[in-house]
């Protein structure tokens, strides 16, 4: 029975969903989060989607097993295309690369609406997703870092405001709402810095010791280290 979400990443995603709204889980897979939200009473209705019919069937099996099929609609579709959006909804897009998440959002102009909240959990290209959101008018951004199964993730919730803003380096790399006194935020920042240092070593080993990119990366690392430790 899905009465709790033991995976802290999934639990953090569920925590970000507003109470009482319809929840859409895009690329739902086993539908663990919407099932939990329904059974806990936090949400009255859920829509699960997947581009793969076989993957969607996995989610449906859990929905039926947990006795919430009356509250769930399952749709085989690409992203949010073709979905009937209600007056208010939270839309989860999780477990994908940041660039794919940005692409899914960009394909549906309906998401540029203050009635909808996006709950995003990118696995890669997080910086690129942050920049896309802020520069595309999704500037009402809240973000949390979470340690789950030995890995550090970020969960981003955002809404459309129409205000297109430039993302600073600290926000782009460490995330919105970064708090250096928070353990998981520090772990995330250190991982990000280690990734940049590996990139710098790769540039050095390629022989491009005088390259503009090498100098830029070095300055970025120095700036972020100061932001982490100041």
Domain positions in the chain are 8-166, 183-229
Tell me the C-alpha to C-alpha distance, in Å, between residue 45 and each of 24, 63, 90, 187.
9, 12, 11, 36
pLDDT digits (tens, 9 = 90+) for 181-225: 999 999 999 999 999 999 999 888 887 666 888 889 999 999 999
Q: How distant is the alpha carbon of residue 63 from its chain centre? A: 23
CA distance 100 to 118: 14
Specify the pLDDT at position 203: 83
pLDDT digits (tens, 9 = 90+) for 26-39: 999 999 999 999 99
Specify the pLDDT at position 1: 56
Specify the pLDDT at position 206: 81
Specify the pLDDT at position 82: 93
Tell me what percent of the residues of the chain surpass a pLDDT of 90.
89
Specify the pLDDT at position 21: 98
* Length in residues, the chain: 230
CA distance 63 to 68: 6
Specify the pLDDT at position 207: 75
Token reading at 83: 């979905």
Low-confidence stretches of the chain (pLDDT < 70) are 1-3, 208-210
Q: Is 112 exposed, middle or buried (0-12, 13-18, 19+ CB in 10 A)?
A: middle
CA distance 159 to 20: 17
Average pLDDT taken over every residue of the chain: 95
CATH 3.40.50.150 matches 8-166: yes
């Amino acid at each position: 029975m899905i009465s709790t979400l033991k995976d802290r990443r999934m639990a953090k995603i569920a925590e970000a969903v507003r109470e009482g709204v319809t929840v859409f889980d895009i690329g739902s897979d086993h539908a663990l989060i919407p099932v939990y939200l329904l059974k806990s009473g936090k949400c009255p209705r859920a829509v699960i989607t997947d581009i793969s019919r076989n993957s969607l069937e996995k989610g449906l099996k859990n929905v039926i097993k947990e006795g919430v099929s009356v509250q769930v609609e399952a749709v085989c579709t690409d992203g949010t295309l073709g979905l009937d959006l209600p007056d208010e909804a939270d839309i989860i897009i999780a477990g994908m690369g940041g660039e794919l998440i940005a692409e899914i959002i960009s394909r549906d102009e309906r998401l540029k609406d203050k009635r909808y909240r996006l709950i995003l959990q990118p696995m890669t290209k997080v910086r690129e997703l942050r920049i896309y959101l802020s520069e595309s008018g999704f500037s009402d951004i809240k973000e949390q870092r979470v340690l789950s199964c030995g890995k550090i993730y970020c969960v981003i919730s955002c809404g459309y405001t129409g205000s297109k803003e430039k993302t600073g380096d600290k926000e782009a790399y460490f995330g919105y709402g970064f708090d250096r006194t928070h353990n998981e935020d520090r772990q995330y920042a250190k991982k990000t810095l280690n990734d940049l240092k590996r990139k710098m070593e790769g540039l050095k080993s390629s022989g491009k010791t005088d390259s503009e990119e090498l100098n830029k990366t070095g300055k970025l690392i120095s700036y972020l280290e100061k932001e982490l430790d100041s």
